[in-house]
Structure 1
Amino acid sequence: MTELFGFSRRRRALLAALAATGATSSAAPALAHAARRMAGSATGERRMAQLIGANGWPMTAADVAMWKAMGLSWGRDSVGPGQRNSPDDAVEVDKTGAAFDHDLPPVIVQNRRNGIGSLLLLGYTPKWNASIPGDTRSAPKDETVWTRYVEAVVRTYSAPPYNVRYFQIWNEAAGPLSGGAAQATFWHGKNFSARAEQAKPYDRAMQDYVELVHVPAARIVRKYGGFVVYGGWPDQGGLETYMQWLEYRSPVVKARMLDWVDYLDTHYLGVDALTPLYERYVANGPARGIWQTEIGDRYMRDPHYLPTYFFKFAVWALGHGWDDPNKYVSMVYHWDGFEPYRLTHRGNPRTYNVSGTSLVVLNKVVGGALAPFDGRVQFGQGASGLALRSGSDLVLQVRASGPGTVRISGLPGVQAGTLGVTMVDALTGEAADASAISARSDGSAMSIDFRMPDAGNGGDGAKRAHLAYLVVSPRAAA
C-alpha cells in the first residue's frame, strides 16, 4: 500500500495564517486575503464568501477587517426614518439602525469600496399613517406616503456613489402562522391585539400586503434598475403558505406578487428546505435566486451550526445552478452583540466569539474556487460529513466522536501517492497532531483513519461531537 499522509509547505502556511487570524484583528492580512477571494466574482469562480452575509453594517476599518476575515460579503439594515412625525416632514433617508441613529451614506460608500454588498430594508409605516393607530407594522392609511419614502430611498441609493441594486421590501409579512399565532410579528391588520391570545386572523393580510406595500414598492425598485428581494418569509409561516402568497394574483394590480420578486427570501430554514423553492421558482424562472436574510441567532448556541450550515449550503448551491455570484446568500443574525453566540463580542477592542472564529476557519480552509466533488465518499460508523473541492484541495467537513474512517473513491492522484492529508479543528483552526491521522491507498481509493478529541467541540444534543476538516492536498515537491 502507498502511504499518503504528509503536510505540504502550503498547508503549513495556511495553518500558521489561521492561528494568526485567531489572535489578532489586524486589517492588512484580512483585506489582502479578501481581495483575492472577491476576485472570484469577476472570473466566474464561485467562492464560499459569496454565500455569506450578516445583519448590520461594519462601521469602522477594524470592523471591515473582521468582516473580511469571516467571509462576510453582504450586509443588511434599515434606511429611513422617512417622514417620522407628520406629513409635513421632509423625507429623510440618510439614517440606519433600529433607532435610525447611524449615518447611512458613509456606510454604503465604505461597503462598496471594500467589496461588501448592501441590502437596504424598506420599512415600515410612520405611526401617524398607520391603519392601526400608532402601529408601525400595520399597512399605511395613505399609500402615497409609503411610495414617497420608497422613491426617495431607491432614487438616492441607486445613484452614484452608492450604486445599490438590491432592496428588500418589508420584513416577515405573513398571515396566520403555522406555529399558532393569528397574525405575523411584522404585519398587523384588522383584529390585531398586542395580547396574542386575543388576536384574530387578519383576513386581508395577503391582499393588503401585495396591493398596498409590495407591488407599489417593487415597481419603483425596478424603475431604477434595482432588484426586489422578498421581505423575508418567516420560518413559522410554512412553505406551502409562502407559495400561496407568492402566487396570489391581485385583481387590483393584475399580477402575482411573484411577478414582482427577483430573489425569494426566507428566514431560519435549513438548507434542504430551499430545494422545493428552487425547483418551483428558480430552476426555470421567474426568480433569479434564493436568499435567507436571517439565519443563526439562538441556533448559534450550537457552535457547529454556522460552519455546518454554510458548508452544506455551498455543496447545495454547487448542485443547483450557482451560475451567478449573488444567486444564493444567507445572512447571519446578528454579527455583533453581548450574547456569547454572536459572531463578535461588542467592545473596544471587538473580539471574535466561537461562531465568528468558525467562519474565519471556514473562509481560510475553504477559501479557494469551489467545485463539486464527483467521486464517492463513504464514512464509517459514527462519522458523517460532506465534501467539495476548494482550489486544488478536496475538503471534507467531518462530524464524529472518537475514532473514525472515510473512504474516498474517484480522487485523481491516489495511485501516484502524491496527496497529503491534514485535519483542522473547525472551530479553532488548530491542526491535529500527525498521530491523529493516517491515510493509505489500495490503488483505486484513499482510506483515511482519524481520531477526534474525546471531549468534542460542540453539538446540539446530549452527546457532544467534534467538527473538523480533512483537507486532501497535492504534496509540495520535495
Structure 2
Amino acid sequence: MDRVKTRAGRRRALRVFAALAAEAAVPLSHVTSAHALIPDTPPPRARARMMTDLIGTNGWAGSAADIEMWRAMGISWGRGSVGPGQPDRPGEIMRIDRTGSSFDSDLPSVLIRNERNGIGSLLLLGYTPTWNASVQGDSNSAPVDLDAWKQYVDAVVRKYSAPPYNLRYFQIWNEAAGQLSGGLPQATFWHGPDFSKDEKRSKPYERAMQDYVERIHIPAARIIRGYHAYVVYGGWPDQGGLDNYRRWLEYRSPVLKERMLDWVDYIDTHYLPVSDLESLYQQYVKNGPARGIWQTEIGDEYMKDPHYLPRYFFDFAVWALGRNWDDPDKYLSMIYHWDGYESFRLTHRGPPARTYNVSGRSLIVLRQTAGGQLASFPKQVQGGPAVAANTLLSGHDLVMQVSAPAGWQTVAVPGLASLRSGTVRTDFIDALSGAASAPGDMAVSWENDLMKVRFRVPDRVNGESKDESKGTGAGNTPPKHLAYLVVRGAAQRVV
C-alpha cells in the first residue's frame, strides 16, 4: 500500500479533529523533577492478561447499544478530543466540556459512561487557538502565549483526573514531527514558518523539534504528572521514520536542560506493524524509562485487507506476552475508526441501524476464540508448505492463527504428547465469519511426540490475492485463508 496516498484521506478527516484550545488564567506551579510527580505506583492489578486489554478505538461509544457492540468486538479503550477551550479570543470563558470533530458532543457524560462500563478514556490535548498561533491563523502551530496552552492543559487534567472521571492517561498533541522520512517537508499537525498547504511550496520547519519540546510537550507533561497522571506521547507518524523518532525522544532542550524522553510515560506511534515496535521496546521500555508502548492509531485503509486487524492483534498479543506484559495497560493499539460509511470500518453507522462490517466481525471472532487468559505457547509449531502459523494459549485451549491456501494443509505441534492417549478435540474456525468447518475436514495423527493436525482450507478462501510490491489487490501471490486452529484443553497438558 502506498502510505503517502492512503494517509491523505485520513489526514483530511483528522484535520477536523483539531480543537482550538486554551483557558482562562489559572496560576500554575513550575515543577522541575519528573520523578517527584508520580506517586509510588501500587502493584499492577492481579488479573490475567486478556486480548481485550490490547484493543481500543478512536472515537466514543454514543449509546448503550454502542457499548454492547464495543464489548462484542473486545474494545476496551476510546480516544477523543477535549475543548473547545477559548477558540475566539483570550479571556473568554473556558470550555472543556465538549468532544467530537466539531465539539458537538457532551464529554462528561461520555467519560462517565465509559467509567461505568469499564472502558478506558484517553483525552487528546490540542491544539492552538488561531488567535494565539505563531503561524497566522494556523491552529497546528506553536502558541505565542505559552501560558494560554498551559492553562488549557491544567484545566483539562485537573477536572478529568478527579472523581467521578478518574482519568489517568492524557495525550499531548498529535503527530508532531519535523521533516518526514516519507517525503513531506512539514508534519501534518505541526507547522512552522514557510508552511504551505501546497506541499510543493512548503519548506522544512527548522525549529520543529525544539519548539515542540519547549513550548508544547514538557510544559504539558509537567502539568499532567503534577496531577499524578501519565503522559502519552502524541503519536509519532508512520512516515516520520523511527530514527527521527529516537532523535525527538532523546532531544535535550538547550533552554530547559531536559530530554523529552524523561517526560514520556508511554511511547506512542501510528500505523506501524508489530515488528517495528521491537526496537522501541528494547531501547525505551525493557529497562525504562517508559512504562509501555501504545499505538493510538492503526487500521484506517489498511483494513481494506480483511486479514489486517485479526492478524495485527494476534501478532500483538503474542509479541506482548513475550515482553513482560506485567500491567494490563502496558500495551495498547487503537483502531482508526470504529464507525463510518466506508465498508472497511468496524461498523456502518446506518441508517437504519448500525451494523458490523467484515473488520468488526473479525474482532468478534477473535474475542470469542481467544477470549480467555492469555499465555505464551513455549513450543514452535511447524506449518506445512505455504502454511504460516502463530500460537498462544487462551484459557484451556491452544489457539493457532493459520494462513494457508486452499486444499488440505498440515501443522505439527510439539509438546502435547500427554494428549496422545485420549480423544483430541479440534476446531477450524474462519477468522472473519466465525464459521467452524465440518468434522470431516479435520484429522489428528501422531508422529512420535508430534501431534499432526490436518485440515481442509475451503476452495473459496476469505483473503485476496496480493502483489507484495503493490499491496492488496490483483496480483501473483495466491490468495490465502485466515483461520484459527484450536486444540481444546491443550493449555493444561503442555509439557
Q: Tell me, what secondary structure is at the counterpart of 2:92?
A: coil
Could you tell me how far apart the structure 1 residues matched to 2:464 and 2:122 are? 32
The answer to whether the 8 A contact 2:97-2:106 is kept is: yes
Please point out which of 290, 301, 306 is paired with 2:293: 290
Q: Which position in structure 2 is the counterpart of 1:179?
A: 182
AA at the equivalent of 1:214 = H
Could you tell me how far apart the structure 1 residues matched to 2:105 and 2:223 are? 25
Q: Tell me, what secondary structure is at the counterpart of 1:458?
A: coil
**Which string of whole-angstrom CA distances, capped at 9 and with x for unpartnered residues, describes residues 241-297 of structure 1?**
000000000022221000000000000000000000000000000000000000000
Which range is displaced more, 346-355 or 271-280?
A: 346-355
Q: Which position in structure 2 is the counterpart of 1:388?
A: 392
Q: Which position in structure 2 is the counterpart of 1:422?
A: 427
Could you tell me how far apart the structure 1 residues matched to 2:262 and 2:280 are? 15
Taking structure 1 as reference, are residues 89 and 460 closer, same or farther at Cα in structure 2, changes over 3 Å only? farther
Q: Which position in structure 2 is the counterpart of 1:431?
A: 436
AA at the equivalent of 1:224 = Y
Once the two structures are superposed, the pairs formed by residues 100-179 of structure 1 within 5 Å of their partners are 100-179=103-182
AA at the equivalent of 1:464 = P
Moved >3 Å (runs of 4+): none
Give the alignment's Cα RMSD to 1 decimal.
1.1
AA at the equivalent of 1:404 = Q
Matched, 1:217 2:232: no
Instruction: Tell me by how many angstroms 1:417 deviates.
Output: 2.4
AA at the equivalent of 1:472 = V
Could you tell me how far apart the structure 2 residues matched to 1:446 and 1:129 are? 67
Please point out which of 360, 366, 376 is paired with 2:364: 360
- TM-score, length-normalised on structure 2? 0.87
Taking structure 1 as reference, are residues 386 and 174 closer, same or farther at Cα in structure 2, changes over 3 Å only? same
Please point out which of 286, 306, 310 is paired with 1:307: 310
Once the two structures are superposed, the pairs formed by residues 18-417 of structure 1 within 5 Å of their partners are 42-347=45-350, 348-402=352-406, 403-411=408-416, 413-417=418-422
Q: Tell me, what secondary structure is at the counterpart of 1:255?
A: coil
Instruction: Tell me by how many angstroms 1:414 deviates.
Output: 2.4
Instruction: Tell me by how many angstroms 1:460 deviates.
Output: 6.0
AA at the equivalent of 2:371 = G
Q: Tell me, what secondary structure is at the counterpart of 2:140?
A: coil
| 5+ long unaligned stretches in structure 2 | 1-43, 467-474, 491-495
Could you tell me how far apart the structure 2 residues matched to 1:459 and 1:169 are? 38
Taking structure 1 as reference, are residues 460 and 195 closer, same or farther at Cα in structure 2, changes over 3 Å only? farther
Q: Tell me, what secondary structure is at the counterpart of 2:425?
A: strand
The answer to whether the 8 A contact 2:424-2:444 is kept is: no
Could you tell me how far apart the structure 1 residues matched to 2:323 and 2:464 are? 28
Taking structure 1 as reference, are residues 412 and 107 closer, same or farther at Cα in structure 2, changes over 3 Å only? farther
Q: Which position in structure 2 is the counterpart of 1:35?
A: none
**Which string of whole-angstrom CA distances, capped at 9 and with x for unpartnered residues, describes residues 109-145 of structure 1?**
0001111000000000001111111111000011111
Instruction: Tell me by how many angstroms 1:458 deviates.
Output: 1.6
Please point out which of 438, 445, 454 is paired with 1:440: 445
Q: Indicate the structure with greater helix content.
A: 1
Q: Tell me, what secondary structure is at the counterpart of 1:419?
A: coil
Instruction: Tell me by how many angstroms 1:443 deviates.
Output: 4.7
Could you tell me how far apart the structure 1 residues matched to 2:309 and 2:149 are? 36
Q: Which position in structure 2 is the counterpart of 1:474?
A: 489
The answer to whether the 8 A contact 1:386-1:396 is kept is: yes
Relative contact order higher in (CA < 8 Å, ≥ 6 apart): 1
Could you tell me how far apart the structure 1 residues matched to 2:204 and 2:430 are? 49
Instruction: Tell me by how many angstroms 1:459 deviates.
Output: 3.4
The answer to whether the 8 A contact 2:428-2:437 is kept is: yes
Instruction: Tell me by how many angstroms 1:88 deviates.
Output: 2.1
Which range is displaced more, 235-244 or 436-445?
A: 436-445
Which range is displaced more, 395-404 or 161-170?
A: 395-404
| 5+ long unaligned stretches in structure 1 | 1-40
**Which string of whole-angstrom CA distances, capped at 9 and with x for unpartnered residues, describes residues 379-434 of structure 1?**
00011020000011000000111221100001253222243111110001111111
Could you tell me how far apart the structure 2 residues matched to 1:393 and 1:412 are? 15
Could you tell me how far apart the structure 2 residues matched to 1:42 and 1:173 are? 33
AA at the equivalent of 1:435 = G
Taking structure 1 as reference, are residues 460 and 314 closer, same or farther at Cα in structure 2, changes over 3 Å only? farther
Q: Which position in structure 1 is the counterpart of 2:11?
A: none
Could you tell me how far apart the structure 2 residues matched to 1:151 and 1:460 are? 51
The answer to whether the 8 A contact 1:414-1:441 is kept is: no
The answer to whether the 8 A contact 1:414-1:443 is kept is: no
Q: Tell me, what secondary structure is at the counterpart of 2:318?
A: helix
**Which string of whole-angstrom CA distances, capped at 9 and with x for unpartnered residues, describes residues 10-39 of structure 1?**
xxxxxxxxxxxxxxxxxxxxxxxxxxxxxx
Using the aligned pairs only, state the percent identity: 61
AA at the equivalent of 1:172 = E
Could you tell me how far apart the structure 1 residues matched to 2:220 and 2:169 are? 13
Alignment coverage as a number of residue pairs: 435
Q: Tell me, what secondary structure is at the counterpart of 1:389?
A: strand
The answer to whether the 8 A contact 2:56-2:332 is kept is: yes
Matched, 1:451 2:453: no
